[in-house]
Amino acid sequence: MKKYELTTETKINAFGKKLFRIKALVSFGPVSAGEKGGWVEKEENLSQSGNAWVFGNAEVYDNACVRDNACVRDNACVRDNACVRGNACVRGQRMCT
């Protein structure tokens, strides 16, 4: 069962990538069903298992991934081939590549 979906809400980021807002389909960890999250380029950027989530205005794109119980929040950006996993959290204005 999927825990989130890509919405029809999109934006083009500073690097010209088309990103989709995510929305939780079920409640898990700190996320409630129906809650909108941050931005991803494709479903492969955010795991459908565990409590991984992208919050707020954060962006995850290219071949980057968020897995396990990890999170990306605030205005953070994870891109290229970076992977945030375990219980890690990237926040603020940080960019991981």
The confidence band for 93, taking pLDDT boundaries of 50, 70 and 90, is: confident
Stretch 65-89: mean pLDDT: 97
Q: What pLDDT band is residue 95 in, cutting at 50, 70 and 90?
A: low
**pTM metric for this prediction:** 0.94
Res 96: pLDDT? 59
- The CA R_g of the chain, rounded to the nearest whole Å, is 12
Domain that holds residue 82: 4-96
Averaged pLDDT for residues 55-83: 97
- Mean pLDDT score of the chain, rounded to an integer? 96
Contact yes or no for 19/39 (Cβ under 8 A): yes
Report whether 24 contacts 33 (CB < 8 A).
yes
How far apart are the C-alpha atoms of 46 and 85, rounded to whole Å? 10
Domain count along the chain: 1
Q: Mean pLDDT throughout 54-70?
A: 98
Q: How far is CA 22 from CA 3, 44, in A?
A: 10, 12
Kindly state the average pLDDT of the residues 17-29.
98
Percent of the chain with pLDDT over 70: 96
Q: What is d(CA 94, CA 17) in angstroms, rounded to the nearest whole number?
A: 18
Q: State the DSSP code for 16.
A: S
